[in-house]
Structures are given as structure tokens and as C-alpha cells.
Structure 1
Amino acid sequence: MTLRTTLAGLALAIASVTTAQAETIRVAIGTQDTTINCAAGGLLIRELGLLDKYLPHDGKYQDAQYDVQWKNFTSGAPLTNEMVAGKLDFGAMADFPGSLNGVAHEAAGKRSLFISVLSGSIEGSGNGIVVPASSKVQSLAELKGQTISVPFASTAHGLLLRAIAAQGWDPEKDVTIIAQPPEVAGSALQANKIAAHADFVPFAELFESRGIARKIYDGSQAKAPTFHGALVEADYAQQYPEIVEAYLRATYEANQLLAKDPEKYSELIEKVAGIPAEVNYLFHGPLGLQTRDLTWKPEYRQAVATAIDTLKLLKKADRGLNVEQFVDDRYIRAAFKASGADYDQALKNYAQQPLLGNDALTGKPIGDTRKVAQIWVRGEPKVRSYATAREALGQLAELKKQGKDIRAVYAQASDSGIKLLAGQAWFVRGKDGALDAFLLREQADAFARQHGGEVADFAAASQQAVASR
């Protein structure tokens, strides 16, 4: 072997190593911008450029180049199709379509991993059932024999089936269920072409805020955990575990930003996705409909198992899925550790996002959050908080006299603790003048029978609050 041959071989070897180190690595992420509880795993990371902060540039990634691709979807099913086709590496979606993602991968001889929760509710809040604004229906029990639409094979579909079962109804005989995406259902509700519509985050609340529908059932009534989370291709995670960790570190930071300044980032979500900031705040703000939680609580693992069973019932899956292998918390644990956070401590925390700050009227700390109400005045960077609904509704009249433009009024439901758009809520005025808020008329009626008091809608409750000042 000549010196020239040896040097040529060495040069080829060096070139090979350099090429490997200079590899262009695709990071293709499927998002659901309008499904706002995916924001920490998609929209915010993209808009704030958070992923670039954490992508590795040392060790085997020393000379790596990154081809970061983003693609937005309106639901989980088409996102899953592109993951299975090898066009995406990551995806964000709810428990139900996420489980379908795992089943679809296995059917194609592949695997995906559910690597993190993004936002959720162990009670099930987030999904909901609405009726047209003009409907006289006040509860699910009144929908027997009626037509209910739902995005098929969505997490809301699972909720609807559980709610129907709780009524003792046969879903194939006692109601007519048709498939409708939210963009079609909105028009159908306005035209009274359907009796009700079941949907996932944030469409029940969005339709309600736009005045075209009224929520008659919140997922928390089903007591069935629900969440949105992030998935990754298993082969990709095995080849690039540091990139998966980087993505989840970006998710962790996005989640912290949402918790710290929900008004600011609710505005950003509106700017990008078109979902009104006041609806985003219902979920991302303090005491919101869902918790700011990235950990794999046992209830969320069970939600995956329940979703898989429901998929079998819908004949969308003919095989099981090993939940213990599908749900993989190694990467989110590593991301917590790298971010200086305690995963096990967070795993034990079931609290709602805390309400920080004092009463906007008295300046005193708010102790009991069960009766809290809030007002968001347009042009103000922070939502005003009040210790009681009576206090807030009294102030609402004063703010209107001052010519303030009111974006939203919120109240906490006295029974479930969920955040409500107060304009659609029912109230019970007690003997002491206090106002307790409820999602449904029947809940308010039951409370009034048990504790005494007068049931009122938002307009009447507001008049009572002003009169009692």
C-alpha cells in the first residue's frame, strides 16, 4: 500500500466522519393551533422560537444542521396520517386521537410514543356539549331521540358516548350521532339543523362566547380524565433522544410562560390562531378549565387505556395497545431535570393554576377561590379579580358607566369549581345576598332547594348585585 493510498483512505474516513457530524437533521412537528391546549407543544414554541434555544450542538451534534418544519392541522387524524407516512416526527393531540395514533402506527408496523401531557383535567373538563342559543334544552336528558353531531373519533366523541351511557341510552337507537367537524357544526347550530353538538377544546366555549350556542354539559360531569399531549416517532426518539429532550424543554418553558402571564399569551394565541383571548384565558388562566400540567398522572394513563377500549367499540381498532410501552415518561423526566425542575413533585400536584394577586376593589388578598369572579376590561393587560361574584357584578355596572369595554366576565362554579363565562351562567342569590354560580339551571335549582335562595340568570343576578351595594 503506497503512502498516497493511505492518505487517500484517511481523507475518505475523515470526510465520512465530517459528513456524519454535519448531518442535516429534520425536526418536523405537527401542531393544532386552534386546539389551544396544544399551545405549549406547538404554537408558542414556534412563535417564540423556543426550540432553537435547546437543540443540541455538542457531542455527536457538534456540526449538525437542523431542518425545523412546522405543519398545522385542525384535528388529530390527518396529523396521524402524516406521522405514519413518515412526514412528521412529532405531533400534538388529545388522548383519544393520540391513542388512535399509536394503533395506526402498530397497524403499519411502526411505533409512536406518547411522551408528555400538555394540559388536562382529571375530572374531564375541556370537552363539552352545546345546543343552539335559541334552544329550550337545559340538560342532556332532554336530547333523547335528537340528532347530536361530533367530530368522529375525537376525544369529544368518547365523552359523548360516556355521557349517553350514563343516561342509560343506546347510542344507536336513542339518539342519532352524526360526524361534523367544528367548522361545520357552528353553522349547523346557527341554523338549528342539529339539536346539539359535542366538541373538544375550545369549541364548546368558543361557540358559547360567540352567542351561537349554550353549553349544557361539561366534561367534568363525566368524571373521566382527558388531556392533550405530545407524541414522537419511536425510531426517531431512539436515534435522537437529545432532540426529543430539547423539544420537551421548549415545551416546559412555554408552559411556564403561559402560567406566568396567561393574558399576554392568550392574546398571542388569538393573533395566530384566531381563537379569542378571553376563551384562551378560560383554559390557560388561573383556576382555569384545565391544569398547566406536563406530568403523566395515573389518571391520564388510564385515559389512554379508556380511549383504546372506546376505539375498539367504535371498530376503529381491532387490536390492543400496550399502554405501559406506549406512554413513555423518560424524555419528559429528562427535560424536567435539565430545566432544574422536580418531576416527581409535579406529579403529585393536582392543584389548579393558582390565582395570584389581590381583590381589585378592596386590595385585600383573596382567600377562598370558590366564589371568585373576574372581569377582563379591553385594553387592560391583566384580568381584574374579585373575591365574590356579587362584588364583581356590582363593579361591572360601574365599569360600564365609565364607558369601559368589557371583554369577558368569569365566575367559578360553586359545585364543580370550573371556570365559567358568567354571561351564560346561572346564579343562586342566598339570604345573605351572596351569589353562587352554576353552569346549568338544574344545578342552580338543586342548590336553591337544598340551601334556600333565588335562581337568576346573569342579567337578573347583575341587577341584584347593583341593588345590594
Structure 2
Amino acid sequence: MGRTALALTVLAAAASSAACSTGSSGNTVNVVVGYQSKTIDTINAGTLLRSLGYFQQQLDALGKSTGKKYTISWQDYATGAPITTQMVAGKIDIGSMGDYPLLINGSTAQRQASTDTEMIAATGFNLRGALNQVVVPENSPATSLRDLAGKAVSTSVGSAADGTLVRALQNDGLNPASAVHVVNQQPSVGASALQAGSVAALSQFAAWPAQLVYAGQAKVLYDGGALNVPTLHGVVVRTSYAKSQPGVVDAFLKAEIQTTRYLQQNPVKASLSVAATTGLAPEVVYLYIGEDGLVTFDPTLKPQETAAMSGDVPFLKSIGVLNSINLGSFINGSYLEKAYGTGYSTATAATANPSTASGTDTGCGLTVAAGSPTASQVWLTGEQSTHPAATPTCALRFVRQAQAQGKKIDTTYVPDAAYGTLWFADKDIWVSDPANPATSHLQPFTTQDEANAYLAAHHGSAIVSYAAALAQA
């Protein structure tokens, strides 16, 4: 299904009559929540929220004051598009999805007053757009997007990952409509197609690229962080449901806030929980939700996020998946402000990740300051927290020391030297630059393109294998 066909399918759902309300029956009030269990950016409004039970606890407390019984029906989807279809049909009350699907949701729902929806909270964001990547098989000879010319690329049309692919191709001087053959597939189908060799590349959102790379089935060809365009996920509610059940909406948002604070304070526990529920590797989950993770979890609707969504509208129109949307009526932060209470304005203004690596770097004997752009981490097997390192080079030095002591390394996380994207040290491309200080002479890059650019700008630097980088640390 192409981009225009997808848009027409969703609009057709909007034109149909909404189903009977999911809201209440007698003394029982039901809320249907649509979520994406494996979309890591939304776990504080989906997977982890459900596992922790905070929403039901909030509803039970609400029931004590209203005398009603509140029940939750959870519906799991791979992407945001089917959640929108079900919301327009009146079969899902609250949903979570990415920025592009959110805009398509709002645009579609605004076709009729009876199907109107509102975005009431964010879930998580990355201001550079590093939650989406284009990956290719590990043995692929491709080193840049230009190497995909004329080949099949799998993505979920209308998703933020689709947008990353289109914008990246445009930035490379390629025509997205003709440069590659886009295959519209759900993430799991696309991942299988990549492994089977039926597509040359996969453009997807978290956590699919990292899962494939971690498993040794792919390598990063393009990092969404290169776009420097914010990407985010959020929560949307049917307006009619919010008006009839404001207490339920308040309970959901309070539960999301609780879940967000839990994962910020317990990143390893949260990672293990989400991994157990989804089947994703804990190391992959932690990459996104851990200290200095790729996702900054925060339910507040920030100016940078709303500005990014406003900027996305012309782009989505240009690729034929959105006609028009009134963002002023779609984005509504009043429910969240009420649920959040004190500190809302301060939280809304903040963009730094509150969960950061800090402490003493025993590899280099340095102090790791919270928020340091070069902070790295080493996760030793069986431990419930990671060890901070001041730089990627120091992280490798720590690894060598730990191995010499007979300790096993689970995962090492280092920020990409080009865009700061946190990634797996053993999957990065390492460049040795003797002109740099001893604590930073090893520079990691997520893509060959980035490494080549560094080599061209730094005479005397050279690409080294991960094993060689460890030896040089």
C-alpha cells in the first residue's frame, strides 16, 4: 500500500459511522487503551504502564469517590495507523503513537466533530531525531544512502521512520519517489524481509533497528540524528470520551507520570521488565530508556515538540498522507497540567534527560559529570546498574581492566562522535586519532559515512577494529 492509498484508507474509516461508545455500561466504566508494546518511546503510556498497574490503581481510587467500577481493555498494535482507525470508529479511547501518526490521527479525526481527538501528553522524545535509523544487512556493501538507489527499502508508510527515510534521501539530493522502491511493511515483517534479502534496507523506529544490530543481523547505514529534527511520541484521546469521562483521563495521565518517574529512577529494573514483556533484549531496551538513553521520557508538551509537529505538517502534506489539521484544537495540555500539579511549568521548560550517568570513572580516574556529552557506560553481567566512564576511550579502558579481573562484560554504551547517538561499542566503527588526548583518542561512529567524514577532516586518523580499539585503550 502506497502513501496515498494509506491516507485514503484511514480517511475512509473517518467517513464511516462511529461505533457505540466504549465508555460505560450500567455502573461499569470501560476504557480501551491502544498501545504499541515494542515501541519503546511509548512504554510509559503502554507496556511499562500496564505492567506496573498504576493506571488500574488510579482508577480504583477514582471508583471510591464515584461509586463506579472501572475496567481497562488493552489492545496491542505494531504501529499507530490501526490505533487511529479504531479510535475513529469509536473502539479505542486512548492511544499512544509517534509524531507523524499523531498528526494523521488528528487530521483524520477532525473530519467529523463526533470523531474528534486531542493530543493530551507526550511520552518521550529525542531532539535530534535519533530514534529512527536506516539499517542494512551486516554484510551489505552499502556505506551511504546513495548505495540504495534503485533498491527496495522497507518502512511503515506514514510513520516517523518513513519520514526519516524521505527527508534523508532529500538531504542527499535524491528524489524519494524514484530513488528507492518503498515497501510498506510492519516493523516485524520488514525485519524478516531484511534478513531474507528481499529488501536492501529497513527504515524503522525504536527499538527495531537496535534489536537487529544488537543481534548481529544489521548495521546502521543512516542515523536519524543527522537530520537534527525532533522526533517524539505522545498520547491522544477521543474528545467525546474525555468530556464524558474526565476522571479516567486524569487517572491515565497521573499513571503515566508515575510510570515516567519509576523508569527514570529504576532504569535497569524497567529495562528488564519491558524486555520480559516484549521479548526484546534488555540491553536494547536500556539503550533507549537507561541513563543518557536515546529517549528522554517526559509527558509535558514542550514548545520544541509542538514546533516540530507544526513543521511536520507541510512535509506530511507533500508526501500525500495528510490534508489539513488544526493544531490549536488538536494539542491540548490542560488535562496534563491538572494531573501534573506543582512543577508543571518547570518540567515543561526542561529538555535535558533527567536520567544521566554520573560518578567516578575508575578506568581513567576521572569524574563523570551528569549530562556530559561524552559520558559512556559499561554494564557488567549480572549487575543491576552500569559503570560510568568519562569518554568512549575510558569506557574501553574500563572494559580491558574488568576483563583482566575475570569479569564478564554484558554491554558497553558509547555516544557517537558525530551526533551523540548512544550505541553499542562493539557495533560502532572506531577511529583512532593520535592528535587527540589520551582519554579521547578513540572516536566511535554509528555509520561508515560519519567515520569517513571524520577521516577526511583529521589527517593521521585511521579506522581500527573494535578489538584493536580495546587494545589501544
Shared topology, TM-score over 0.5?
yes
Compared with structure 1, are the counterparts of its residues 62 and 222 closer, same or farther at alpha carbon in structure 2 (3 Å cutoff)?
Answer: same
Letter in 2 for 1:70: W
The percentage of counterpart residues that share the same residue type is 31
Are 2:248 and 1:246 aligned? no
- Provide the secondary structure at the position in 2 that maps to 1:371: coil
Aligned residue number for residue 379 of structure 2? 376
**Which of 353, 356, 361 matches 1:354?**
356
**Which of 43, 48, 53 matches 2:52?**
48
Aligned residue number for residue 133 of structure 1? 138
**Which of 256, 261, 266 matches 2:266?**
261
Task: Report the Cα distance in structure 1 between the residues aligned to 2:110 and 2:401, rounded to whole angstroms.
Answer: 60
Aligned residue number for residue 206 of structure 2? 201
- Provide the secondary structure at the position in 2 that maps to 1:246: helix
Q: What are the equivalent positions in structure 2 for 1:99-118 lying under 5 Å apart?
A: 99-107=103-111, 109=113, 110-118=115-123
**Which of 427, 447, 455 matches 2:463?**
455
Question: How far apart are residue 332 of structure 1 and its match?
Answer: 1.2
Compared with structure 1, are the counterparts of its residues 360 and 250 closer, same or farther at alpha carbon in structure 2 (3 Å cutoff)?
Answer: farther
- Provide the secondary structure at the position in 2 that maps to 1:365: strand
TM-score by length of 1: 0.88
Alignment coverage as a number of residue pairs: 442
Segment drifting more, 268-277 vs 286-295: 286-295
Compared with structure 1, are the counterparts of its residues 184 and 321 closer, same or farther at alpha carbon in structure 2 (3 Å cutoff)?
Answer: same
**Which of 366, 369, 372 matches 2:368?**
366
Letter in 1 for 2:472: Q
- Provide the secondary structure at the position in 2 that maps to 1:68: strand
Are 2:427 and 1:420 aligned? no
Task: Report the Cα distance in structure 2 between the residues aligned to 1:460 and 1:144, rounded to whole angstroms.
Answer: 33
Compared with structure 1, are the counterparts of its residues 125 and 67 closer, same or farther at alpha carbon in structure 2 (3 Å cutoff)?
Answer: same
Task: Report the Cα distance in structure 2 between the residues aligned to 1:87 and 1:446, rounded to whole angstroms.
Answer: 50
Task: Report the Cα distance in structure 2 between the residues aligned to 1:303 and 1:244, rounded to whole angstroms.
Answer: 25
Q: What are the equivalent positions in structure 2 for 1:250-329 lying under 5 Å apart?
A: 250-317=255-322, 319-329=323-333
**Which of 431, 438, 442 matches 2:445?**
438
Q: What are the equivalent positions in structure 2 for 1:174-213 lying under 5 Å apart?
A: 174-213=179-218
Task: Report the Cα distance in structure 2 between the residues aligned to 1:220 and 1:442, rounded to whole angstroms.
Answer: 13
Aligned residue number for residue 17 of structure 1? none
Task: Report the Cα distance in structure 1 between the residues aligned to 2:243 and 2:333, rounded to whole angstroms.
Answer: 14
Question: How far apart are residue 302 of structure 1 and its match?
Answer: 2.9
Compared with structure 1, are the counterparts of its residues 179 and 21 closer, same or farther at alpha carbon in structure 2 (3 Å cutoff)?
Answer: closer
Task: Report the Cα distance in structure 2 between the residues aligned to 1:203 and 1:59, rounded to whole angstroms.
Answer: 39
Once the two structures are superposed, what CA deviation does each residue of 1:141-194 show, in whole Å capped at 9, x if it has no partner? Answer: 322222211112111111111111112222222221111222122222223322
Once the two structures are superposed, what CA deviation does each residue of 1:45-67 show, in whole Å capped at 9, x if it has no partner? Answer: 21111013323756995211112
Aligned residue number for residue 17 of structure 2? none
- Provide the secondary structure at the position in 1 that maps to 2:199: coil
Task: Report the Cα distance in structure 1 between the residues aligned to 2:92 and 2:362, rounded to whole angstroms.
Answer: 47
Structure 1 alignment gaps of length 5 or more: 1-19
Larger radius of gyration: 1
Question: How far apart are residue 399 of structure 1 and its match?
Answer: 3.2
Question: How far apart are residue 403 of structure 1 and its match?
Answer: 4.7
Segment drifting more, 195-204 vs 343-352: 343-352
Flag as ranges the 4+ runs of structure 1 deviating above 4 A: 56-61, 360-364
Aligned residue number for residue 5 of structure 2? none
Compared with structure 1, are the counterparts of its residues 397 and 358 closer, same or farther at alpha carbon in structure 2 (3 Å cutoff)?
Answer: closer
- Provide the secondary structure at the position in 1 that maps to 2:197: coil
Compared with structure 1, are the counterparts of its residues 35 and 413 closer, same or farther at alpha carbon in structure 2 (3 Å cutoff)?
Answer: same
Contact preservation (8 Å) 1:30, 1:73 = yes
**Which of 29, 32, 37 matches 2:41?**
37
Letter in 2 for 1:464: Q
Aligned residue number for residue 79 of structure 2? 75
Task: Report the Cα distance in structure 2 between the residues aligned to 1:302 and 1:213, rounded to whole angstroms.
Answer: 33
Task: Report the Cα distance in structure 2 between the residues aligned to 1:343 and 1:313, rounded to whole angstroms.
Answer: 36
Once the two structures are superposed, what CA deviation does each residue of 1:418-446 show, in whole Å capped at 9, x if it has no partner? Answer: 21111121223232442222222332333
- Provide the secondary structure at the position in 1 that maps to 2:453: helix
Segment drifting more, 228-237 vs 345-354: 345-354
- Provide the secondary structure at the position in 2 that maps to 1:33: coil
Letter in 2 for 1:314: I
Once the two structures are superposed, what CA deviation does each residue of 1:70-113 show, in whole Å capped at 9, x if it has no partner? Answer: 12111111122221222211001101111121222223541011
Question: How far apart are residue 361 of structure 1 and its match?
Answer: 4.2
- Provide the secondary structure at the position in 1 that maps to 2:92: coil
Contact preservation (8 Å) 1:21, 1:63 = no
Letter in 1 for 2:457: Q
Task: Report the Cα distance in structure 1 between the residues aligned to 2:381 and 2:31, rounded to whole angstroms.
Answer: 38
Aligned residue number for residue 161 of structure 2? 156
Are 2:96 and 1:89 aligned? no
Letter in 1 for 2:444: A
Aligned residue number for residue 388 of structure 2? 385
- Provide the secondary structure at the position in 2 that maps to 1:228: strand
Contact preservation (8 Å) 2:121, 2:299 = yes
Task: Report the Cα distance in structure 2 between the residues aligned to 1:454 and 1:363, rounded to whole angstroms.
Answer: 27
Letter in 1 for 2:231: T
Task: Report the Cα distance in structure 2 between the residues aligned to 1:285 and 1:57, rounded to whole angstroms.
Answer: 31
Aligned residue number for residue 6 of structure 1? none
Task: Report the Cα distance in structure 2 between the residues aligned to 1:87 and 1:75, rounded to whole angstroms.
Answer: 16
Aligned residue number for residue 335 of structure 2? 331
**Which of 65, 68, 81 matches 2:69?**
65
Compared with structure 1, are the counterparts of its residues 30 and 21 closer, same or farther at alpha carbon in structure 2 (3 Å cutoff)?
Answer: closer
Letter in 2 for 1:463: A
Segment drifting more, 104-113 vs 74-83: 104-113
Task: Report the Cα distance in structure 2 between the residues aligned to 1:314 and 1:450, rounded to whole angstroms.
Answer: 36
Question: How far apart are residue 264 of structure 1 and its match?
Answer: 0.7
Letter in 2 for 1:450: A
Segment drifting more, 391-400 vs 346-355: 391-400
Letter in 1 for 2:123: L
CA RMSD of aligned residues (A): 2.3
Segment drifting more, 298-307 vs 126-135: 298-307
Letter in 2 for 1:436: Q
